[in-house]
Amino acid sequence: MGFQEERQYAVRYRGFVLLQQRNHSWLVRPERSPMTLLPFRTPTCSLEDVKALVDWRLQQEAKLLSVA
């Protein structure tokens, strides 16, 4: 009975670190402070989907800041 070692990936994208989890979901964390977006997890999806989600959240953040 051995443990099967699966590779986990870390990708840097637009100031965030995207960490693939064992269940193929993603943990998204800012690379440094101050945090414009809080860390969040995604459902199981592809890297392209995670990047699109980060882009969308950054766009929403920019809209909120422009309104305020």
Long-range contacts at 34-37 (CB < 8 A, ≥ 24 apart)? 36/61, 37/61
How many helical (H) and strand (E) elements, i.e. helices and strands, does the chain have? 1, 4
What confidence score (pLDDT) does residue 60 get? Answer: 92
What is the per-residue pLDDT across 10-57, written as a single tens digit (0 to 9) for each? 999 999 999 999 999 999 999 988 887 899 999 999 999 999 999 999
What confidence score (pLDDT) does residue 20 get? Answer: 94
CB 57 within 8 A of CB 25: no
What confidence score (pLDDT) does residue 4 get? Answer: 62
- For the whole model, what pTM was predicted? 0.81
Residue extents of the structural domains in the chain: 10-67
Residue that has been written with the tokens 């929403």 in this structure: 60
